C-alpha cells in the first residue's frame, strides 16, 4: 500500500504514534510547549474509544495515568519543565510499584517559568534524577517528526516490557517543528503487550519474579487477581517490609532490570563515526543543527562524525566507549549549561578531550555555531 505523505508537527506525531502504540488513556494539564499533545488527545482518543481527561494539576495527571495503567490501559501524560518537576514524586511511585506509563516532556527554557516558548534541553538531568531516591530510568529523545512517531511506539514497548515509567524527552524544536512525513503502516509496527503470565494467579506473590528474570507479571486490577500495590518497600507479595534483605533485593532488582538489559534498551544514531577523529555528541532537536554542521565539516575535509544517543538514559556508555580509540576529541553540543557532557566526560575518562558548546538564551543553536566550535577545537 502506498503511504500518504503528510505535513505534521512533532507534538502531533507524538500523539499519532502513541495511539498506534495502543495508548488509550491520557491525563494532562495544559502547559506550553506541550499543549498540542493534550489538545490532539482530546480530539483523537474518543475517536478510537480512548479516554482523555484534563486534570486539576500536574500531580493529579501523573497520578491518574498510574491509576489507569494499574487497570491495564496504556496511559500517557505530557508536560514541560515546570510540570515535569511537579510529576516527579509520582514518577518515582511508578518506578517503585512497577506501573508502565509514558511521560512526555517537551522541554522549554528554565529554571522556573523561564522562557516558556523557547527551546531548551535543560531537563536532561531531571529526566534521570528528578524523583528522589535511587531508581531505574529509561528516557528516549527524538530529533525529527518521523522519529517522534516511531520512537514513542518504542517508549510504550519498553515501558510495558520493563514495567517502568519511560520518559519521552522531546524539546520545543522537535515538538513545534513541522515536517513532511510518510508514517509507517500501523500494521507494520511491533507492539508489546503487558506480560501477565508467569505466576499462578494466587493472591500472594504478585511481585514474584522467576530466577533469571527481572520483571514481575501480575494481572491488572479488576481481572480477578487481588493484590496490593504500595510505594513503600515491599516483598514479593506487595506488602510493606522493613526487612533490610527484602528491601535490598527489591531495590537491586529494580535497578538490574534496566542495567542487565542495556543492549535491548539502548539505541544510538552514529553518522560518519567509522573514520571520524572528532565526534559531535548531541541529542534531540540539537542533533539537526549538528548533522548539518557535520556535513559541512566533511565537505571542508574534516573527519567529523555524529554520535547521537536516542536512548538518552541509560547513557550509551558502552557504545561511546567503543568509539574512543579512534577519537582525538569530542564536542558535546546541548541546549543547556552542560548536562550530558558530564556523562560524556565520565565515559571519556580523560582519554579523549571533551569540549562543550551550549546555549542558555532561548535561541536555537545553529550549524554555524557548531562549525565554529569544531574549528576552534581543531588541533
In contact, 138 and 151? CB cutoff 8 Å:
no
Whose CA is closest to 267, among 160, 374, 143? 143
Stretch of residues binding another protein (CB under 8 A), selected from 5-13, 110-118, 185-193, 231-239: 231-239
Residue of 3, 5, 46, 202 that binds another protein (CB under 8 A): 46
Stretch of residues binding another protein (CB under 8 A), selected from 29-37, 223-231, 278-286, 363-371: 223-231
Using only the alpha carbons of the chain, give its radius of gyration. Answer: 21
Q: Does position 241 bind another protein by CB under 8 A?
A: no
String marking each residue 169-208 x if it binds another protein according to CB under 8 A:
----------------------------------x-----
Pairing type for strands 268-271 and 101-109 reads unpaired
Residues 6+ positions from 47 with CB-CB distance below 8 Å: none
Alpha-carbon gap, residue 309 to 287, rounded angstroms = 10
In contact, 332 and 352? CB cutoff 8 Å:
no
Pairing type for strands 165-171 and 138-140 reads parallel
Give 113 or 223: the residue with its C-beta nearer to another protein: 223
* CA distances from residue 329 to 103, 158, 169, 184, 354 in whole angstroms, order as listed: 34, 33, 27, 37, 6
Give 75 or 174: the residue with its C-beta nearer to another protein: 75
Alpha-carbon gap, residue 132 to 135, rounded angstroms = 8
Give 87 or 154: the residue with its C-beta nearer to another protein: 87
Whose CA is closest to 181, among 14, 354, 332, 323? 14
Q: Does position 226 bind another protein by CB under 8 A?
A: yes
Give 206 or 280: the residue with its C-beta nearer to another protein: 206
Q: Does position 60 bind another protein by CB under 8 A?
A: yes
Give 96 or 341: the residue with its C-beta nearer to another protein: 96
Give 47 or 112: the residue with its C-beta nearer to another protein: 47
In contact, 203 and 227? CB cutoff 8 Å:
yes
Please report where in the chains the cell 538518552 appears, as a residue: 312
CB atoms within 10 A of CB 214: 19
Give the DSSP per-residue string, 287-299.
HHHHHHHHHHHHH
DSSP SS3 for 221: coil
Give 93 or 315: the residue with its C-beta nearer to another protein: 93
Stretch of residues binding another protein (CB under 8 A), selected from 41-49, 102-110, 299-307, 356-364: 41-49
Q: Does position 25 bind another protein by CB under 8 A?
A: yes
* CA distances from residue 45 to 49, 67, 273 in whole angstroms, order as listed: 6, 18, 42
Which residues 93-122 are close enough to bind another protein by CB under 8 A? 93, 97
Smallest gap from residue 102 Cβ to another protein (A): 14
Alpha-carbon gap, residue 184 to 128, rounded angstroms = 30
Element (H, E) at 347: helix 340-348
Smallest gap from residue 82 Cβ to another protein (A): 16
Q: Does position 6 bind another protein by CB under 8 A?
A: no
Smallest gap from residue 292 Cβ to another protein (A): 42
How many residues sit in the footprint of another protein (CB under 8 A)? Answer: 41
Q: Does position 68 bind another protein by CB under 8 A?
A: yes
Q: Does position 240 bind another protein by CB under 8 A?
A: yes
Residue of 32, 39, 89, 360 that binds another protein (CB under 8 A): 89
Q: Does position 301 bind another protein by CB under 8 A?
A: no
State residue 179 phi and psi, 5-degree precision: -135, 150
Smallest gap from residue 224 Cβ to another protein (A): 5
Q: Does position 378 bind another protein by CB under 8 A?
A: no
Q: Does position 41 bind another protein by CB under 8 A?
A: no
Alpha-carbon gap, residue 138 to 164, rounded angstroms = 8
Chain residues in the site for another protein (CB under 8 A): 25, 27, 46-47, 49, 51, 53, 55-57, 59-61, 63-71, 73, 75, 89-90, 93, 97, 203, 221-222, 224, 226-232, 239-240
Amino acid at each position: 500500500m502506498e503511504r500518504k505523505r503528510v505535513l505534521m508537527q512533532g507534538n502531533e506525531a507524538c500523539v499519532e504514534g502513541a495511539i498506534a502504540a495502543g495508548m488509550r488513556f491520557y491525563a494532562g494539564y495544559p502547559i506550553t510547549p506541550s499543549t498540542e499533545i493534550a489538545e490532539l488527545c482530546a480530539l483523537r482518543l474518543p475517536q478510537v474509544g480512548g479516554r482523555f481527561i484534563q486534570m486539576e494539576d500536574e500531580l493529579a495527571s501523573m497520578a491518574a495515568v498510574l491509576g489507569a495503567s494499574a487497570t491495564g490501559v496504556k496511559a500517557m501524560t505530557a508536560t514541560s519543565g515546570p510540570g515535569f518537576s511537579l510529576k516527579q514524586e509520582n514518577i518515582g511511585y511508578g518506578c517503585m510499584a512497577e506501573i508502565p506509563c509514558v511521560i512526555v516532556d517537551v522541554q522549554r527554557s528554565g529554571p522556573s517559568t523561564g522562557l516558556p516558548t523557547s527551546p531548551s534541553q535543560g531537563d536532561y538531568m531531571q529526566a534521570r534524577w528528578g524523583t528522589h531516591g535511587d531508581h531505574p530510568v529509561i528516557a528516549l529523545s527524538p530529533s525529527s517528526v518521523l522519529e517522534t512517531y516511531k520512537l514513542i511506539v518504542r517508549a510504550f514497548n519498553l515501558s510495558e516490557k520493563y514495567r517502568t515509567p519511560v520518559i519521552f524527552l522531546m524539546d520545543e524544536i522537535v515538538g513545534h517543528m513541522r515536517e513532511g512525513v510518510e508514517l509507517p503502516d500501523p500494521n507494520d509496527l511491533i507492539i508489546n503487550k503487558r506480560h501477565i503470565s508467569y505466576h499462578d494467579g494466587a493472591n500472594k506473590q504478585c511481585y514474584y519474579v522467576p530466577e533469571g528474570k527481572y520483571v514481575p507479571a501480575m494481572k491488572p486490577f479488576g481481572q480477578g487477581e487481588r493484590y496490593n500495590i504500595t510505594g513503600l518497600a515491599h516483598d514479593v507479595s506487595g506488602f510493606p517490609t522493613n526487612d533490610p534483605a527484602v528491601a535490598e533485593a527489591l531495590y537491586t532488582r529494580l535497578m538490574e532490570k534496566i542495567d542487565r538489559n542495556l543492549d535491548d534498551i539502548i539505541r544510538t544514531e552514529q553518522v560518519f563515526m567509522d573514520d571520524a577523529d572528532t565526534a559531535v555528541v548531541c541529542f534531540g532537536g540539537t542533533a539537526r543543527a549538528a548533522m548539518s554542521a557535520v556535513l559541512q565539516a566533511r565537505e571542508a575535509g574534516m573527519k567529523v562524525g555524529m554520535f547521537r544517543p536516542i536512548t538518552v538514559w541509560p547513557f550509551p556508555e558502552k557504545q561511546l566507549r567503543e568509539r574512543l580509540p579512534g577519537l582525538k576529541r569530542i564536542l558535546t553540543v546541548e541546549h543547556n549549561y552542560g548536562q550530558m557532557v558530564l556523562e560524556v566526560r565520565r565515559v571519556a575518562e580523560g582519554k579523549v578531550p571533551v569540549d562543550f558548546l551550549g546555549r542558555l538564551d532561548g535561541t536555537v543553536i545553529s550549524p554555524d555555531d557548531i562549525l565554529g566550535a569544531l574549528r576552534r577545537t581543531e588541533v
